[in-house]
Structure 1
Amino acid sequence: MRSLDVNCKVSAFCTINASEDMEKVRTAVSNILTDMDEKITGDSLVVNSSNYESLTKIYETMRSRRTKSAYRRHLMRNMAKDSTWFYLNKQAAFANVIALCDEADESP
């Protein structure tokens, strides 16, 4: 990933279902996002970073699979002012695979 001089905030929110193991959810998130500060709040795992390089694994996957247009479509559709978001599949993330989802319930 090319080095940029940008000010950004990367946040991820992941609901931990009653049937899920907290450590496996943490592993799933850390497989995808690097260099993140994590916090558990109730039934959710919240991770934050001020370093855009936390998204390196997503960027590399997007380039290697040639899925830039799908990511771009998701990011543009969910744009609000200077912020955007997308869903990733939690089970795929645990297996170290990055898979976009259209809806939150696609990621059990």
Structure 2
Amino acid sequence: MKAPNISCKIEGYAAVNPSEDPEKVQLAVSQVLPDVVYQYKEGSIKATSNDIKCLQKIQESIKKHRSNRVYRRQMRFNTKGDTTWFYLNKQAAFVDVIAICEEAEESAMGPIKIILHSKNIEKIVDWLAPETLE
């Protein structure tokens, strides 16, 4: 499904544990959020973009694995105003697998937190994880 033309800000955060290589953590984040700007600061990687297309890989994974209900539930539960978020498993992302975590503790080395900001947050949720899959 083609990405809608919706104004948004996408952020990804991942802690870099003392035992982890920051470049490998950045690689894990880049596997789920390609073509974004990265910063390493104060023990974490921050990824930012204003282009909804950087979520396309996540959207394709949701469709492929038919996991739209889990993502929708998480995003609806975590919505505050024009912002929502969800966790992805950092180790899975490192090996190019997108796997949602319902709790941060499900990712042993800590999760990647994906935060979405938009005045049309419902439309982004509906595109990313539609109620029904084709």
TM band (smaller chain): over 0.9
Is 1:76 matched with 2:81?
Answer: no
Report the TM-score when normalising by structure 2.
Answer: 0.78
> Separation in 2 of the partners of 1:104 and 1:70?
15
**2:8 maps to which residue?**
8
How far 1:105 sits from its partner (Å)? Answer: 2.3
Q: Counterpart amino acid of 2:16?
A: I
Q: Distance in 1 between matches of 2:105 and 2:45?
A: 17
Counterpart for residue 21 of structure 1: 21
Q: What amino acid sits opposite 2:30 in the alignment?
A: S
Write the distance in 1 (CA, Å) between the matches of 2:53 and 2:80.
Answer: 22
- Superposed CA offset, 1:15-64 (max 9, x none): 00000111111110111111100111110100000000100110000001
Structure 1 unaligned segments of length 5 or more: list them: none
SS in 2 for 1:64: helix
The residue number in structure 1 matching 2:57 is: 57
The answer for the alignment partner of 1:36 in structure 2 is 36
Structure 1 stretches of at least 4 aligned residues deviating more than 4 Å after TM superposition: none
How far apart, CA to CA, are the structure 2 residues paired with 1:3 and 1:23? Answer: 29
CA distance in 2, matches of 1:67, 1:102: 12
- 1:56-96 CA deviation, whole Å, 9 max, x = no partner? 11000000111111110110010010110001100000010
SS of residue paired to 1:20: coil
Greater relative contact order structure (CA < 8 Å, 6+ sep):
2
**TM-fit CA distance, 1:3:** 3.5
TM-score between both structures, scaled by the size of structure 1: 0.95
Percent of pairs with identical residues = 43
Q: Give the 3-state SS of the residue equivalent to 1:4 in structure 2.
A: coil
Corresponding pairs, count: 108
Gaps in structure 2 of 5+ consecutive residues:
110-134
Aligned residue runs from structure 1 range 93-108, under 5 A: 93-107=93-107, 108=109
Mapped partners of 1:57, 1:10: distance in 2: 14
Q: CA RMSD in A?
A: 0.9
